[in-house]
A and B are shown apart, each in its own frame.
Chain A
Amino acid sequence: MTPLTRTWATLIALSAATVLLVPMPGRAAMAGLLVLAWLKARAILGGFLHLRTAPGWLAALTVPLALWLAAIWGLAALSFR
């Protein structure tokens, strides 16, 4: 399997995991859905956009994305206390 195909397979697997997690209620499930979205974004940035070969740049994008998704989770959790 080539690295590009592996990235695609990872994205399909993460999408399948998202579908499985959707019926679960609660804030932990919402966090899980956002973690899966972050992992998909990381796979696209690292695999398709080649940031895995650019030292430091993958983290430079994925860390702010993680912080933003954490803020989104916080807003969702506040809405459904």
Chain B
Amino acid sequence: MSLDDLPGELILWILIVSELLVFAAGITAMMATQLTDPQGFSAARAMLDGRMAALNTVVLVTSGLLAARAERAAGAGDRRGARVALMGAALGGLAFLSIKAAEYARDLAAGAGMDSHPFFTFYFLLTGFHAAHVIAGVAVLALVAIRARPDAVQAGAMFWHMVDLVWVLILPPIYLLG
């Protein structure tokens, strides 16, 4: 086991681990705060629509598959195939953001604001920060599609998989536990 064994650029792995640590700290703080008001957190969490989160999981992992296929195509010298797959992955990101926007609109209409309960402060901060990464990821996928060089496409795909990875880890504590 050495650093040379890691696929892709080392700096991207440093980024992935750093992002995991940031989101883990936020989720841990939310779960610790929940100890002070379990019933309130449970009631607030029940206002969320888990079906939209489940749909977004399917959208994001499918988008991740397209990013992985783009990486493989670019590595095989198929720039056109890589571009098509990257655009598909980016469209998946836009679909994720559309569903997330509809979910936020529904939450706000139901009276769930940043200040209405500490749970919602964590909810909007953590999912909003994640959505910001999705926006950045869509931009990265579009940028690397321009020249579709294998190393750049691999870097873009790794960033996209990090967004996917964070989502599957923050989903249960935010939507499902309690």
Interface residues of A (CB under 8 A from B): 4-5, 7-8, 11-12, 15, 18-19, 22, 30, 33-34, 36-37, 40-41, 44-45, 47-51, 53-57, 60-61, 65, 68-69, 71-72, 75-76, 78-80
Contacts and interface: CB of A to CB of B under 8 A. Distances in A.
Tell me the interface secondary structure of chain B in the complex: helix
A26 B168 CA distance: 21
Contacts of B161: 44, 48-49
A18 B24 CA distance: 20
B113 interface: no
Chain B's interface size range is 35 or more
A57 to B, nearest CB: 6
A33 B170 CA distance: 12
B35 interface: yes
20 contacts: A4-B72, A8-B64, A11-B64, A18-B172, A37-B169, A40-B61, A44-B61, A45-B165, A48-B67, A48-B157, A49-B8, A49-B161, A50-B8, A51-B7, A53-B7, A72-B177, A75-B28, A76-B31, A79-B31, A79-B41
A41 B165 contact: yes
Contacts of A22: 50, 176
Contact of B69 (A4, A19, A55, A61): A4
A11 B20 CA distance: 19
Contact of B178 (A50, A56, A76): A76
A58 to B, nearest CB: 10
B60 to A, nearest CB: 9
A79 B35 CA distance: 5
B7 A50 contact: yes
Given A45-B165, A56-B1, A57-B6, A75 B176 contact: no
Contact of B58 (A15, A48, A68, A80): A15
A5 B41 contact: no
